[in-house]
Amino acid sequence: MYKGMYIAASSAVMKMKQMEIVTNNMANAATYGFKQDGIGFRDFLVSEMSRKLQPMDGRDMTYVDKVFTDHESGAMVETGNQLDVAINGTGFFSLEGGKYTRAGNFKLDAEGFLTSANGTKVLGEGGPIQLPLAAKVDIGANGDVFADGQAVDRLLIAQFDDTAQLVKVGDTAFQTDQAPLPPASSVVQGILETSNVNIVREMVSMINLNREYEMNSKMLQTLDEEANKVVNDMARM
């Protein structure tokens, strides 16, 4: 009986964690450059001490093994905005503070610095990129940035050997201890990369998770009622 309660309880907790991931993915389905997350699980038996006390006890528990990010590219959409850029291929835009992103929906702050959507400065090879506020901006395939025809800087595009080591910071930025490598990609102006969330698949996952959570909850309730019944019956004996 208690073995079933352990299994049902751990499964319910995992469904809740999965639901958090799916909900966040769906909430960011329209966020440029967002990369969807997934979750991995691992099963294990209870501690060695418990099995020594109860040799026949093979209670199986489940825990979160890891949360991972799917770095598959999203679709490209044309905006025509001169400050919108996308990376055609692998790599990330470099941001101030050791951050990296695929979200190229940039803007200018009050001082003319090119920033990400949340205000973090975008880096060029010479540091934060600063442009005249009213300038016509052109960005070449190699990342060269021109203001009214004058070269200003080149976007600092970084590539990494192992994207699995990138740690998500917020919704669209990442950090890593890896040394960046020269990019093998090009930059496209007036284009943005959408999120890689498959909204239909996530909705199906949410429906299934709700059903599975309800099943585990009902199982726990039933087992709890049975346990109380056993205790009460023993008290009468």
Q: Digits of tens for pLDDT over the chain (237 positions)? A: 445 555 555 666 677 888 899 999 999 999 999 999 998 766 555 554 444 444 444 445 555 567 899 999 999 999 999 999 999 999 999 999 999 999 999 999 999 999 999 999 999 999 999 999 989 999 999 999 999 999 999 999 999 999 999 999 999 999 999 999 988 899 999 999 999 999 999 999 888 877 876 776 666 666 556 656 555 555 555
Domain regions of the chain by residue span: 2-72+198-236, 76-193
Alpha carbons 106 and 119: distance in angstroms, whole number: 9
Tokens (6 digits) for 179: 């040394």
Nearest to 103 by CA among 195, 179, 10, 38: 195
pLDDT value of residue 18: 86
Alpha carbons 216 and 152: distance in angstroms, whole number: 60
- Integer-rounded Cα Rg, in Å, for the chain is 25
pTM confidence score: 0.78
Query: What is the sign of the dihedral through the CA atoms of 52, 53, 58 and 64?
Result: negative
pLDDT value of residue 221: 67
123 forms bridges with which residues in the sheet?
A: 128
Alpha carbons 8 and 175: distance in angstroms, whole number: 36
Alpha carbons 158 and 170: distance in angstroms, whole number: 19
Helix (H) or strand (E) holding 138: strand 137-139
Half-sphere exposure of 143 (CA within 13 A, CB side): 24
Phi/psi class of residue 152: alpha, beta or left (left: φ > 0; alpha: ψ in -120 to 50)? alpha
Residues near 176 by Cβ (< 8 Å), separated by ≥ 6?
A: 100, 160, 165, 166, 167
Alpha carbons 89 and 104: distance in angstroms, whole number: 14
